[in-house]
Chain A
Amino acid sequence: MREIQVKEITAKLRELFQSACYNLGEDVIEALDRARKAEESPIGVAILDEIIENAKIAREGVYPLCQDCGLAVVFIDLGQDVHLVGGSLEEAVNEGVRQAYKEGFLRKSVCDCFTRKNTGDNTPCILHVRIVPGEKIHIVCAPKGGGSENMSRVQLLPPAAGVEGVKKLVVDRVRESGSNPCPPIVVGVGIGGNLEQSAILAKRSLLRPLGNPNPSLELANLEQEILEKVNRLGIGPAGLGGRTTALAVHIEMTNCHIASLPVAININCHSHRHKEAVI
């Protein structure tokens, strides 16, 4: 058994959220560069240039990538041989978020549902914990913008809809989202489970590095096929017309009930932010 102080988790999250909001991942920058080379629309090229330049400016550490520094989503895989000491895990995680958003001059975007009063420190965060074998803690932070989250959906399809139904659902969702989620987007798709599991699968699929297909050949092919369909929609960078509507489609799938075919679509923008660490 390994003893870990919860304040170590606070310190990690404080660092990770700031890093995520200022430093776009290399995989995203490479995907944007590839898209820039392939883009046929002149205005699309101009927009991609702005987005790539924006990432460079943010990296200097003064201006975050986007003014919407997101709802703070945290994934923790907690080794079952870890004994956490020094306080509550949930409080430690929220404290990390609080410190990161204050110290990093990040926008606080959490409010009461009806009065719309801002909580002032970007908490509470959304925390997903899994207990796993081992004595380490794996932490992922994923700030998620509201514009792209608003375009996401969960649908419980009838089983007869099959794989064709899934393809149609995803392509229609991207078409209807148009310019709202700040294209080029990353499309996360969770298939199977139930209502909430499909949504969590979709969100988790966004954490996979761009350029890494699903290890199952069947799903990798499906990802590629949907990506091609989506990029034929013509939405393009910033929705002004062009080839690059999505940088990637990621699918995660598990089994489901004999009566249903759950599909969740979680859209992320080009401000595709996540950082991880192991304690």
Chain B
Amino acid sequence: MKEKAIKLKTPLTSEQVSKLKIGDRVLLSGVIYTSRDAAHKRIVDAMDKGEKTPMEIAGTVIYYAGPSPTRPGNPIGSVGPTTSYRMDSYAPRLIEKGLKGMIGKGSRGKEVIEAMKKHKAVYFGATGGAAALIARVVKKGQVIAYPELGPEAVNMLEVEDFPLVVINDVTGADLYEEGVKKYQK
């Protein structure tokens, strides 16, 4: 683990993400998009039909999260990561289209890791349950698609120094496996 966090700004390029290694701590700034199961289904359906997706996929970072309701005057509610494996069946499609980063919690399936290796993308972990802390890094928030999905709508978030850890890098390495091995007795 590097002691100093790496600062990155979205959109991300293949070159930028290729430099990241598992265990790197990243402070991410710029625009990211929230999306959970239901929104992923709609995005992939739109791609299948050749329709426009709610956001540009190339270079984008998607955050697996469904925030709590926004209080008047605030940019967003509490917004921690949700468990990522539920998006595994959709993720490779988006990675093929140039998605460069995913933020969530929990391990990813083989197909997702293979897609990350092949098309150069990374998976970041945000701290599960640190939702109030993460809300503080959101400077602007706005629902941009599927408002009828309630907490599962797609939000555009402008974040500043969102604290993340690289879980899977472009070599296919996995911090959950490596980190746990170190402390197993």
Contact = CB atoms under 8 A, between A and B. Distances in A.
A47 interface: yes
Interface stretch (A6-14, A159-167, A178-186, A193-201): A178-186
A150 B83 contact: yes
Contacts of A66: 78, 80, 129, 131-132
Contacts of B135: 57, 63
A90 interface: no
- Most chain A CB neighbours (cut-off 10 Å) among B136, B183, B184: B183
A57 B83 CA distance: 23
A232 B149 CA distance: 41
B165 interface: yes
Dominant SS at the A interface? loop
Contacts of B25: 43, 46
B68 A62 contact: no
Given A50-B127, A179-B176, A67 B67 contact: yes
Interface stretch (B7-15, B53-61, B69-77, B91-99): B69-77
A243 B38 contact: no
Contacts, number: 165
A240 B165 contact: yes
B30 interface: no
Given A107-B68, A182-B105, A232-B184, A64 B77 contact: yes
Contact of B163 (A50, A120, A182, A242): A50
B78 A63 contact: yes
Contact of A65 (B107, B132, B176): B132
A40 B183 contact: yes
B109 interface: no
Contacts of B141: none
Contacts of B176: 178-179, 239-240
Interface in B159-181: 163, 165, 175-176, 178-181
Contact of A51 (B79, B129, B180): B129
Nearest to B150: A118
B163 A233 contact: no
B23 interface: yes
Interface string A109-135: 100000010101000000000000000
B128 interface: yes
B65 A54 contact: no
B1 interface: yes
A253 interface: no
A64 B78 contact: yes
B78 A238 contact: no
A53 B77 contact: no
B127 A178 contact: no
A243 B163 contact: no
Nearest to B181: A234
B77 A232 contact: no
Interface of A: 40-43, 46-47, 50-51, 53-54, 57-58, 62-69, 105-109, 116, 118, 120, 145, 147, 150, 178-180, 182, 232-236, 238-243, 269-271
Interface of B: 1, 3, 23, 25, 38, 65-71, 74, 77-80, 82-83, 85, 105-107, 125, 127-133, 135-136, 149-151, 163, 165, 175-176, 178-185
Given A65-B78, A107-B78, A118-B151, 19 more contacts: A42-B3, A43-B165, A54-B130, A65-B131, A67-B65, A105-B77, A106-B68, A109-B151, A178-B106, A178-B176, A178-B180, A179-B125, A180-B105, A182-B128, A232-B185, A239-B180, A241-B181, A241-B182, A269-B129
- Complex A-B, nearest 6 residue pairs according to Cβ-Cβ distance, in ascending order: A241-B179, A234-B183, A182-B128, A63-B132, A234-B184, A107-B68
